[in-house]
């Protein structure tokens, strides 16, 4: 298996010849714009369709950066970059790779949140497949409309829980599009291998349904049997049309997310990025290098008991049990506060959702996070509630009284939903906090020291995990693979990172990080007998050679 589907410039649209003329200029995977050489212009019918001067890729990058930096708002920059992506993917990924730290907040969180909110208004041209529940019975046919036939990763959403922004229906497409861009920019997956999909089953967001620019079905969400049958048809269609594709479930509401993952994991190689991918356990492991604490002795308190929260807790339990704790003791170290207070056994009111039950311990009910901090004395506080300003000054101060080095992660995205800002976290803890946030915050200067907090974000995890799983043809993506990835990520945090207050490697190293995680995943797949493709004992060189490099190839 090669990760370069059309080396030597052959058409990725199935044919064996390179398209010519305007068909070539409008093929984003092959287009070089003003960088087509004199020979290519003659041989491929381009003469006259381009201005005469030939530019290098480097010169094009400079022009892109100049134009981009002149734009004032992040949303304008997002529109500019996605337009570039739709025109010339090589140039887009060259810019992404060489300027990752600057570009990531534009094509991913936080700007992608704003872009989704306004997807209807900023819509230029579609990217990916929209499959609506009206097309039940025709899902395979629609998948076959995709012009590329060797899809290896599908990121799919139904738009019900987009970041911490709630139900955005069909506007959620920005997330699968963005995640697939990260697969290429961070791990080197060829862009021709990715397919973003939105399953449109309606939206319960009444404001969207009334919005004249809304792109999706203007009806309430379909739920129950009809929904389940639609998703089952989708999974079956993926298996038959794209049998080599790995499926990433993305931003489903939690009533469906856990169920869909459990039901489908065995049928189709898949994972849920929100439940399994959260990089928080890696951040916790790295924090312990600073606090000197032991993993098995932490007390974790989560605000938010949804996909991300219970997913992080499950991974913590896996890590702690492999370090010698029993499963029940490990679970007893994880506590949750949700919208109705502390998650406890026999809580009055609505019955607890299934995914919360393993973490419902015997305790008196408590209403607020502040009460829970007081009662439980957590060493680690993790925000995954999508609720801003919930880590208040008194809560942050109390964490600092209870712990010489409190570990506090405000992971909700986008920035507007973060439980606290980096500045608040450092200020209220006298700079002692080990802090990470889901979306980036600028450096904070406090007490004469400047802290550059890290981004506790799945971007560190899923590109490497997906790339490794594909490279070795993993039959399944297991929790052990995610744990291997989290451990490797923590190992990659350097003393220099820690000195800056960062418990994740710099994003400038994301290609190297994703490669290391891919290697760890390949090793785990081999160990557990799930690899179907034989790779060398040290697969590093092979994985590097297969990566997509954003450089132009000669077509003639």
Question: Using the rule CB under 6 A, is 250 a contact of ligand NAD?
Answer: no
Question: Over the Cα atoms of the chain, what is R_g?
Answer: 24
List 35, 182, 308, 408, residue binding ligand NAD (CB under 6 A): 308
Complex with ligand NAD: residue 388 or 473, whichever CB lies closer = 388
The secondary structure of 278-299, three-state, reads CCHHHHHHHHHHHHCCCHHHCC
Give the shortest CB-278-to-ligand NAD separation in angstroms: 4
Question: Using the rule CB under 6 A, is 306 a contact of ligand NAD?
Answer: yes
Question: Using the rule CB under 6 A, is 456 a contact of ligand NAD?
Answer: yes
Question: Using the rule CB under 6 A, is 413 a contact of ligand NAD?
Answer: yes
Gap between the Cα atoms of 53 and 290, Å rounded: 55
Whether omega for the bond prior to residue 414 falls within 30 degrees of 0, making it cis, is yes
Question: Using the rule CB under 6 A, is 178 a contact of ligand NAD?
Answer: no
Residue among 119, 179, 316, 356 flagged as catalytic: 179
Give the shortest CB-273-to-ligand NAD separation in angstroms: 7
Complex with ligand NAD: residue 385 or 429, whichever CB lies closer = 385
Complex with ligand NAD: residue 303 or 519, whichever CB lies closer = 303
List 338, 497, 516, 524, residue binding ligand NAD (CB under 6 A): 338
DSSP string across 466-487: HHHHHHTT-S---HHHHHHHHH
Give the shortest CB-417-to-ligand NAD separation in angstroms: 5
Residue among 93, 108, 193, 504 flagged as catalytic: 108
Which among 194-202, 218-226, 297-305, 423-431 is the span making contact with ligand NAD, rule CB under 6 A?
Answer: 297-305
Decide: 276 and 479 in contact? Cβ < 8 Å. Answer: yes
Going by C-beta distance under 8 Å and a sequence separation of 6 or more, which residues neighbour residue 548? 3, 4, 93, 184, 188, 189, 190, 191
> Is 108 in the active site?
yes
Phi and psi torsions of 151, nearest 5°: -75, 135
The position carrying tokens 């981009």 is 68
Which among 48-56, 75-83, 334-342, 419-427 is the span making contact with ligand NAD, rule CB under 6 A?
Answer: 334-342
Gap between the Cα atoms of 545 and 528, Å rounded: 25
Question: Using the rule CB under 6 A, is 339 a contact of ligand NAD?
Answer: yes
Decide: 553 and 7 in contact? Cβ < 8 Å. Answer: yes
> Is 71 in the active site?
no
Structure tokens at 544: 């590097």
Gap between the Cα atoms of 375 and 384, Å rounded: 20
Question: Using the rule CB under 6 A, is 411 a contact of ligand NAD?
Answer: yes
Catalytic residue list: 108, 179
Q: Which stretches of the chain bind ligand NAD, using CB under 6 A?
A: 161, 163-164, 254, 274, 278-279, 303-309, 337-339, 384-387, 411-413, 417, 438, 456-458
């Amino acid at each position: 298996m090669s990760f370069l589907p059309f080396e030597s410039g052959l058409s990725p649209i199935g044919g064996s010849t390179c398209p010519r003329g305007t068909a070539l200029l409008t093929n984003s995977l092959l287009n070089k714009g003003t960088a087509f050489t004199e020979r290519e212009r003659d041989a491929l019918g381009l003469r006259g369709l381009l201005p005469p001067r030939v530019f290098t890729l480097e010169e094009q990058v400079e022009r892109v950066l100049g134009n981009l930096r002149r734009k004032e708002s992040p949303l304008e920059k997002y529109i500019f970059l996605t337009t570039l992506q739709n025109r010339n993917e090589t140039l887009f990924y060259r810019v992404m790779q060489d300027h990752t730290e600057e570009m990531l907040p534009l094509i991913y969180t936080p700007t992608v949140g704003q872009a989704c909110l306004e997807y209807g208004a900023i819509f230029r041209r579609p990217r990916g497949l929209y499959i609506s529940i009206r097309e039940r019975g025709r899902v395979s046919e629609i998948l076959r409309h995709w012009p590329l036939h060797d899809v290896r990763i599908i990121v799919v959403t139904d738009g019900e829980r987009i970041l911490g922004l709630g139900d955005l229906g069909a506007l959620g497409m920005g997330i699968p599009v963005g995640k697939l861009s990260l697969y290429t920019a961070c791990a080197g997956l060829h862009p021709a291998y990715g397919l973003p999909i939105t399953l449109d089953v309606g939206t319960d967001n009444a404001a969207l349904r009334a919005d004249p620019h809304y792109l999706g079905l203007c009806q309430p969400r379909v739920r129950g049997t009809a929904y389940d049958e639609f998703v089952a048809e989708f999974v079956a269609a993926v298996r038959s049309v794209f049998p080599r594709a790995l499926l990433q479930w993305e931003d489903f509401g939690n009533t469906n997310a856990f169920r869909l993952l459990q039901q489908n994991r065995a049928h189709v190689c898949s994972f849920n990025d929100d439940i399994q991918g959260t990089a928080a356990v890696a951040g916790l492991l790295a924090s312990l290098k600073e606090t000197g604490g032991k993993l098995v002795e932490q007390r974790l308190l989560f605000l938010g008991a949804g996909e991300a929260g219970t997913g992080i807790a499950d991974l913590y339990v896996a890590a702690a049990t492999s370090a010698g704790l029993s499963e029940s003791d490990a679970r007893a170290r994880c506590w949750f506060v949700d919208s109705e207070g502390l998650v406890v056994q026999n809580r009055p009111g609505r019955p607890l959702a299934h995914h919360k039950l393993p973490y419902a311990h015997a305790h008196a009910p408590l209403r607020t996070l502040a009460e829970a901090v007081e009662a439980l004395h957590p060493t680690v506080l993790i925000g995954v509630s999508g609720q801003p300003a919930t880590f208040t000054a008194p809560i942050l101060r109390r964490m600092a009284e209870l712990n010489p080095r409190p570990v506090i992660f405000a992971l909700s995205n986008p920035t507007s939903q973060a439980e606290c800002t980096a500045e608040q976290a450092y200020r209220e803890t006298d700079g002692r906090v080990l802090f990470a946030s889901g979306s980036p915050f600028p450096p904070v200067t406090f007490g004469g020291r400047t802290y550059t907090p890290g981004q506790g974000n799945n971007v560190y995890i899923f590109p490497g995990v997906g790339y490794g799983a594909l490279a070795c043809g993993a039959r399944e993506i297991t929790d052990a693979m995610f744990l291997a990835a989290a451990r490797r990520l923590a190992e990659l945090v350097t003393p220099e990172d820690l000195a800056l207050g960062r418990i994740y490697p710099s994003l400038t190293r994301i290609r190297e990080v994703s490669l290391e995680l891919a290697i760890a995943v390949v090793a785990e797949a081999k160990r557990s007998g799930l690899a179907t493709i034989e790779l060398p004992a040290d697969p590093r060189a092979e994985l590097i050679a297969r990566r997509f490099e954003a450089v132009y190839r000669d077509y003639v």
